[in-house]
Amino acid sequence: MAHEATWHANLKVRLRRLRLSKNMRRLVRETKLTSDDFIHPLFVRHGQGIKLPVESLPGKHQLSVDNLAAEVREISALGIPAVILFGIPEHKDWRGSDNFAEDGIVPQAIRAIKDTDPDLLVISDMCFCQYTDHGHCGIINTPDNPHYDPALPQGYLHNDHTLDLLQQASLAHARAGADIIAPSGMIDGMVAAIRSALDSDGAQHVPIMSYIKYASAFYGPFRDAAESAPQFGDRSQYQMDPANQREAFKEIALDIEEGADIIMIKPALPNLDVLSHLRENYTVPAAAYQVSGEYAMIHAAAQRGWIDLERAALESLTCIKRAGADMIISYFAKDALKWLDA
């Protein structure tokens, strides 16, 4: 016992000294969330006076363009610097025509947001799953479209034909005033194709935020919100296998080589290892998407009384930033800032 008492007396390093009080913990906290960290997602659809709740995303809505102004003013008042837009078109077809139409839903929304707050950054999610009648992220090899190739499997996504559409849509969104183009379909060569189109159109100043996107099970609520569920199969032929890490590292390197200005990891929490690698090995800004399934799970567990909503949400966001994110796309963005300011 005497030996034990002596050992305790000689314990000079006591890390708990800096955990004793709330203000002490605040003083030494390594990772802090601020409004500068957040990007707020918005779902916008055709129509008038629409504010349609998304059941699987508590507190989130599909909005018509005329209802964007009030939402934008609230987002701006909280100090959030950017939003990312997802469009729900009035009509869908095999090639997602609304996405590259000059009067498509996203170009309309971009102009409305800029009319309300010219300084709020608008990021355009650049994909086709919401706009196609089959729910896939580009042109699909089926007998009813002009690009059908009987030598390829039915349901195969035509990579290079999809690049042409991504170029057209990126130009339409940039001309409408988008500040950042964010290709998310994991189409090979998408960054290079979009960079070439933007530069040729005099939009050299528009950055590209490229997704490193896994074929994840955590996207279900988003597909409700964006009405983008695939009508057959899944997206594993073009989005990444969640089992693969080295492949993600290669995707990061290729996208940067092709001209990506920002790299985004999606989903965030299941892929903190990839996010950490990005931060430790590259100097480009790192983004992370706390996806709909992450948000919905926290809400669902809190509704059952199993966890504390505020504490769990803020902890998850803090860990995403701690892993290396310079910016976080999150459905918690507004709530998190209100909680932090309380």
114 carries an active-site annotation: no
Closest CA to 264 of 84, 90, 110: 84
Q: Answer whether the bond into residue 81 is a cis peptide, omega within 30°.
A: no
Closest CA to 57 of 233, 226, 270, 308: 226
CA geometry: angle 104, 106, 108, nearest 5 deg: 70
Q: Extract the tokens encoding 192.
A: 């290079």
Whether 44 contacts 88, CB under 8 Å:
yes
Q: Which of 60, 213, 321, 334 is catalytic?
A: 213
Catalytic residue among 266, 321, 334, 338: 266
The residue among 201, 225, 180, 284 whose CA lies nearest residue 56 is 225
Taking the C-alpha atoms of residue 71 and residue 50, their distance in angstroms, rounded to an integer, is: 13
Helices (H), 243-303: 246-258, 272-281, 292-303
Pair type for strands 38-45 and 139-140: unpaired
The identity of residue 73, as a single letter, is R
User: Could you confirm whether 213 is annotated as catalytic?
Assistant: yes
Q: Is 292 left (phi over 0), alpha (psi -120 to 50) or beta?
A: alpha
Closest CA to 269 of 229, 329, 194: 329
Beta bridge partners of 210: 263
Nearest to 168, CA basis, from 248, 62, 223, 96: 96
Peptide bond before residue 267 is cis, with ω within 30 degrees of 0: yes
**In terms of residues, how long is the chain?**
342
Token pair belonging to 75: 């987002």
If you ran DSSP here, which 8-state letter would residue 204 be given? Answer: T
Alpha-carbon gap, residue 266 to 213, rounded angstroms? 5
Q: Which positions are catalytic?
A: 213, 266
